[in-house]
Amino acid sequence: MGSTLNFPLNKSKILVRTTVYLRGTHTISQLRHSLIVELATTAKEFCSRRRQKNSREV
């Protein structure tokens, strides 16, 4: 197992939010907030999945 983590970002959601921002209906702070929320949610899910996997191996 390499040191690189397969981080499954929800690219479609991020793309939609970026498109909405580019259309001008989102401010840059709203876009940044939604990207941070997306990253945090993904990271939390990723970590809990890893924890479950690791606890099964023990």
pLDDT of residue 11: 74
Contact between residue 38 and residue 13 where contact means Cβ atoms under 8 Å apart: yes
pLDDT of residue 1: 42
pLDDT of residue 51: 85
DSSP 2-44: -S-------HHHHHHHHHHHHHTSS-HHHHHHHHHHHHHHHHH
Entry pTM: 0.47
pLDDT of residue 3: 45
One digit per residue, pLDDT tens: the chain, 58 residues? 444 555 566 677 777 777 777 777 667 788 788 888 888 888 888 888 888 888 876 5
